[in-house]
Structure 1
Amino acid sequence: MNGYRSFQQLMGHETPEVGYRIQWRWGQTGIAVMAPHGGGIEPGTSEVAKAVAEPLHSFYHLDGLKRKGNGRLHITSTLFDEPVALEMARRSWKLVTVHGCEGTRPVVYLGGLDLELQTRVASALAGCGFSTATHPFFRGDQKNNLCNRGSSGTGLQLELSQGLRASLFERLNRSGRKHPTPVFYRFVAALKAVLDSLKREGPTP
């Protein structure tokens, strides 16, 4: 899956606004929701991250725009060094990163170094009928993982299985992702409720 080992390497081979684009918005809470492998790289993650972030939290994604072969744009989270993302991480108290992984079972794999936040998200999602688990490989437990680079030093990584992401949209292609299902809104609402409580506990932005 990993196509490039740095953003500098990606820029040397890809054309902005043709192969990829970077979009971001600053929020008011010190919490950032990011999809570093968005658009066609891990389809559905951009839409989830943006909806969870609105209207108060910061949002960022690297949007894969290729007709095919977007996986080449993937920079693993421990090496992710795109400058805007790093600046957002530096200026944020807590980071939540949204990723996509394989698997037909609809499940959210929870990772990152904020174990308390994992527990709270697991409870909120279970209450809305979603399954959670720990991924055998993608645990986000390295200090240099993007999700842990906020000022708190601990964050949350969400790995959404393909089966779950397929249930969130009419289809997982770019046009189908413009049409979220009721499951999408239920999923987003559960995550937003947790972040709403989290913002009241964090430092003043």
Structure 2
Amino acid sequence: MSETRRRSILTAFTGAALGTGLVGGQAVAAPRTTAATTAACPTVPVIPATRRTPFVTNTDLYRDPQYTEGTHYARRYKRQARTDADLAASHPFTRTTVLALHGGGIEPGTSEIALGIAGYDPATLAPVVPVPPDGRAVHDYWMFEGLLGTPTGPGDPSNSDLHITSTRCDDLVALSMAGGSANVISVHGCNVDQLKQTVPQGPGIPNPAVDSVLVGGLNATFKALLIQELGLANITAYDGDLVPALAGTDPDNPCNRGLLRQGAQLELTLGLRKSMFGTFTRPGRPGSTTAKFGHFVNACRSAIHQMEQRTDQAHY
């Protein structure tokens, strides 16, 4: 049975029942310079334009017979194997999970960025460098991705129809992975107009609509480390509190549903996301990452590494 079929069956049963490598704290992610494929996305079967209201939850979407997993949307995840059978010593459990709740064509670029932060090559899904025995060079990840093509006429379904508000995410695998991690970092794409209204601007202050990221979440320490490391990588990062609607402070946000009940959220402008890829299409992005991509994911990985080394996380 295929993985996709298995997940679909599990989802149906659930619904019925419920009613880059790291060395010394730094990751190495070589930029890609080879030409990326520009082939068009595969043709997606037409969906009757009968739904005009957003899906309320993931379960709402999964139950809709007009949408098929593996054709219209996909879920991908990676959970590291962890074992502690040692009576004399303690071995760490998973400490960090990276999420892309609106990946694929919903908020383009977030899937690839999440994979990079987790320590994987977006094109091959292989670890960027050999994983050391403690597994710390890689992190767990979960992604929900839109696979729909560009609408060709009025009423045609689009990837934006698949956008589930973060606080409404009820995918049990996503929530279980977040809930079992000390640190959760969620990657999103934002509307630049939302930043222009509230982020400070003026002489010497970059236009927030270009190559910037809003760092939110309830974990103030994690936020500060991310802003610090992104700044060292020459990436403009703002505190999410400047834009309350994108601050990621709702306790129901999956980034705040980890073991500590507080995490981090990244809202990347379209300009920043585009600068990370030579070809900004769904088939082209994985194989065309730029130097900016490496700088960004390495900065995030450095912040994660510092979080995991804190004494208050030693028992996880």
Answering whether residue 301 of structure 2 is matched by residue 192 of structure 1, we say yes
Aligned to 2:79: 26
- C-alpha distance in structure 2 between counterparts of 1:23 and 1:180, whole Å: 20
Answering whether residue 281 of structure 2 is matched by residue 176 of structure 1, we say no
Answering whether residue 209 of structure 2 is matched by residue 112 of structure 1, we say no
- C-alpha distance in structure 1 between counterparts of 2:226 and 2:179, whole Å: 24
Aligned to 1:16: 69
Aligned to 1:74: 163
| 8 Å CA contact 1:106, 1:161 repeated in 2 | yes
- C-alpha distance in structure 1 between counterparts of 2:299 and 2:175, whole Å: 27
Query: Unaligned regions of 5+ residues in structure 1, if any?
Result: none
- C-alpha distance in structure 2 between counterparts of 1:26 and 1:139, whole Å: 27
Question: Between Structure 1 and Structure 2, whose CA radius of gyration is higher?
Answer: 2
- How well do the aligned residues superpose, as a CA RMSD in angstroms? 1.5
Partner SS, residue 75 of structure 2: strand
- C-alpha distance in structure 2 between counterparts of 1:157 and 1:200, whole Å: 20
Of residues 159-168 and 12-21 in structure 1, the stretch that sits farther from structure 2 once superposed is: 12-21
- C-alpha distance in structure 2 between counterparts of 1:140 and 1:40, whole Å: 21
Aligned to 1:64: 146
Q: Using structure 2 for the length normalisation, give the TM-score.
A: 0.62
Answering whether residue 112 of structure 2 is matched by residue 47 of structure 1, we say yes
Aligned to 1:90: 179
- C-alpha distance in structure 1 between counterparts of 2:62 and 2:181, whole Å: 25
1:176 to partner: Cα distance? 2.6
Of residues 2-11 and 172-181 in structure 1, the stretch that sits farther from structure 2 once superposed is: 2-11
1:57 to partner: Cα distance? 1.0
Q: What amino acid maps onto 2:75 in structure 1?
A: I
1:6 counterpart (46, 57, 78)? 57
Superposed CA deviations along residues 52-100 of structure 1, whole A, max 9, x for unmatched, are 1124211110011111311111111111111110111121111100000
1:204 to partner: Cα distance? 4.1
Superposed CA deviations along residues 149-195 of structure 1, whole A, max 9, x for unmatched, are 00101100000010100100013211331210111011111111111
- C-alpha distance in structure 2 between counterparts of 1:20 and 1:154, whole Å: 28
| 8 Å CA contact 1:29, 1:199 repeated in 2 | no
Of residues 24-33 and 148-157 in structure 1, the stretch that sits farther from structure 2 once superposed is: 24-33
Of residues 33-42 and 21-30 in structure 1, the stretch that sits farther from structure 2 once superposed is: 21-30
Question: Percent identity over the alignment?
Answer: 34
Partner SS, residue 3 of structure 1: coil
Matched residues, number = 204
- C-alpha distance in structure 2 between counterparts of 1:149 and 1:203, whole Å: 19
Aligned to 1:154: 262
Partner SS, residue 96 of structure 1: strand
Query: Unaligned regions of 5+ residues in structure 2, if any?
Result: 1-52, 81-92, 120-136, 151-157, 193-208
Q: Using structure 1 for the length normalisation, give the TM-score.
A: 0.94
Q: Give 1:137-148 correspondences, 5 Å limit.
A: 137-148=245-256
2:275 counterpart (157, 164, 167)? 167
Of residues 150-159 and 166-175 in structure 1, the stretch that sits farther from structure 2 once superposed is: 166-175
Partner SS, residue 174 of structure 1: coil
Partner SS, residue 176 of structure 1: coil
